């Protein structure tokens, strides 16, 4: 899956709404992904989320974004460490017990 599409999944956006949003002259799909900071993708997804709200109040946005980013981060760290929790925890800068709590929280085994 393309990085820009993964970003849109962060906040469960309908891709059709993406066309109506001012992207602040950032066309992420045409630029070299390695030159674009992750924060730009996240900002785009959040802007799209607010556009989809169409003026309605957002609630729980912080917790939603953190959970949508944290789960795939934990999964990727585990995959890249060969599912070694000690190595994954070290890569993430977490204690192994904190990693285990987060894995339980997200239902990752």
What is the pTM (predicted TM-score) of this model?
0.64
CATH superfamily of 61-105: Homeodomain-like (1.10.10.60)
When pLDDT is cut at 50, 70 and 90, the band that residue 82 belongs to is very high
- Contact between residue 17 and residue 52 where contact means Cβ atoms under 8 Å apart: yes
Q: Is 68 helix (H, G, I), strand (E, B) or coil?
A: helix
pLDDT digit string, tens, across residues 7-66? 444 444 444 444 444 444 445 556 666 778 989 999 999 999 999 988 888 889 899 999
- Contact between residue 99 and residue 85 where contact means Cβ atoms under 8 Å apart: yes
- Contact between residue 70 and residue 76 where contact means Cβ atoms under 8 Å apart: no
In the chain, ranges of CATH 1.10.10.60 domains: 61-105
């Amino acid at each position: 899956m393309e990085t820009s599409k993964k970003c849109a999944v962060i906040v469960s956006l309908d891709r059709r709404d993406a066309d109506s949003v001012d992207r602040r002259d950032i066309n992420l799909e045409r630029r070299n992904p390695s030159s674009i900071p992750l924060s730009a993708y996240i900002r785009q997804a959040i802007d799209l989320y607010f556009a989809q709200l169409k003026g309605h109040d957002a609630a729980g946005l912080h917790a939603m974004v953190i959970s949508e980013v944290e789960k795939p981060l934990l999964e990727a760290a585990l995959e890249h460490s060969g599912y070694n929790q000690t190595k994954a925890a070290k890569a993430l800068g977490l204690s192994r017990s904190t990693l285990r709590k987060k894995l339980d929280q997200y239902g990752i085994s």
